[in-house]
């Protein structure tokens, strides 16, 4: 079972672990119906595969037709899904399937707003690990659906020496030296810095990527000039639609933005049973 299957299983257990008392009381026998999932606003679509898995986890016999692809622009009143099968299965799966679609489409929609606002094709917008516990893979998929890029997925697939590492190790030099002694030569070493002194220390330690954390625009501009293409430069902290292009204008290569996931608002969808 992969992570997506696990979170779907947990979500269905949370919602219907002892059954659906309302549906099971009304419909005691199988009854075939068709339901459609309809957009109630404009948004960018994400999470279709997850929603489909919800329906098939509840009932593998349900027939699902997805009318759009992830990353498509959806308009109000568009029919996104058509699902046919036992009414009991449709109603039991409804809320969990909608929850995934609404949340993930919200992330894709917010990401698209940032990507559209970013007026610099040379700067890459990436997400962070500030994701809903257990949902990281599907939320990062949603960021890509919105046109953004992914930072490291987890602690195991990218080296990022942060302030607490530096403090505990005693210095940037010590932290980088210890990492370099153990890490694969194929992995880049990123160091988080907060002032010009640390920028120079990261350069002296030959960091591959330098993250400018919560620096103001003037400081970032000076840091980029000092680094002078000797490392990839990432900006992090205080990133919003209002600050995005000012940050990009400093010359950084990457802007990481936790808001893409932790500030996204779910879109509005509904599932409607079709009348015979």
Same domain, 251 and 157: yes
Residues 72 and 198 in one domain: no
Alpha-carbon distance of 12 to 217, in angstroms, equals 46
What pLDDT, on the 0 to 100 scale, is given for residue 1? 56
Residues 81 and 152 in one domain: no
Contact 250, 225 (CB under 8 A): no
Catalogue the active-site residues.
95, 130, 162, 192, 213
Q: What is the C-alpha to C-alpha distance for residues 191 and 202, in angstroms, rounded to an integer?
A: 7
pLDDT value of residue 19: 86
**pLDDT value of position 2:** 86
Looking at the structure, tell me whether residues 185 and 90 fall in a common domain: no
Which of 200, 205, 241 has the alpha carbon at shortest distance from 222? 200
145 and 99 assigned to the same domain: no
Domain that holds residue 24: 3-108+265-273
- Examine the domain organization and report whether 121 and 78 are in the same domain: no
Q: 58: domain CATH number?
A: 3.90.1170.20
- Within the chain, strands assigned E span 32-39, 43-44, 63-66, 73-74, 79-86, 124-126, 159-161, 189-193, 209-213, 232-236, 254-256, 269-273
Do 228 and 239 have their domain in common?
Answer: yes
If asked whether residues 177 and 53 sit together in one domain, one would say no
CATH number at 181 reads 3.20.20.70
What is the number of domains present in the chain?
Answer: 2
Q: How high is the pLDDT of residue 275?
A: 82
- The reply to whether 126 and 256 lie within a common domain is yes
Residue 238's pLDDT is: 92
**Are residues 53 and 185 both part of a single domain?**
no
Q: For the chain (length 276 residues), average pLDDT per consecutive 10?
A: 90 92 94 98 98 98 98 98 97 98 98 97 97 97 98 96 97 97 95 98 98 97 98 97 97 98 97 90
Looking at the structure, tell me whether residues 77 and 133 fall in a common domain: no
Please name which of 201, 251, 193 lies closest in space to residue 224, comparing C-alpha atoms.
251
246 and 160 assigned to the same domain: yes
């Amino acid at each position: 079972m992969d992570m997506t299957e696990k979170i779907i299983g947990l979500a269905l257990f949370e919602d219907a672990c002892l059954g659906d008392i309302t549906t099971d009381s009304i419909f005691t026998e199988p009854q075939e119906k068709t339901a459609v999932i309809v957009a109630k606003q404009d948004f960018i679509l994400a999470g279709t595969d997850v929603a489909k898995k919800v329906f098939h986890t509840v009932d593998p016999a349900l027939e699902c037709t997805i009318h759009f692809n992830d990353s498509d622009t959806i308009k109000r009143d568009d029919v996104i899904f058509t699902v046919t099968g036992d009414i009991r299965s449709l109603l039991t799966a409804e809320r969990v399937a909608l929850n995934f679609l609404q949340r993930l489409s919200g992330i894709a929609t917010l990401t698209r707003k940032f990507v559209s606002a970013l007026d610099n094709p040379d700067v890459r917008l990436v997400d962070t690990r500030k994701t809903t516990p257990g949902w990281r893979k599907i939320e990062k998929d949603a960021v890509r659906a919105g046109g953004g890029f992914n930072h490291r997925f987890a602690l195991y697939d990218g080296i990022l020496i942060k302030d607490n590492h530096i403090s505990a190790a005693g210095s940037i030099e010590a932290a980088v030296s210890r990492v370099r002694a153990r890490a694969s030569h194929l992995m880049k070493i990123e160091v988080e810095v907060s002032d010009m002194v640390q920028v120079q220390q990261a350069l002296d330690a030959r960091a591959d990527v330098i993250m400018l954390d919560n620096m103001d625009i003037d400081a970032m501009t000076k840091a980029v000039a000092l680094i002078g293409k000797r490392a990839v430069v990432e900006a992090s902290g205080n990133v919003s639609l209002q600050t995005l292009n000012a940050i990009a204008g400093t010359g950084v290569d990457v802007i990481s933005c936790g808001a893409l996931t932790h500030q996204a608002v779910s879109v509005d969808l509904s599932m409607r049973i079709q009348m015979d």
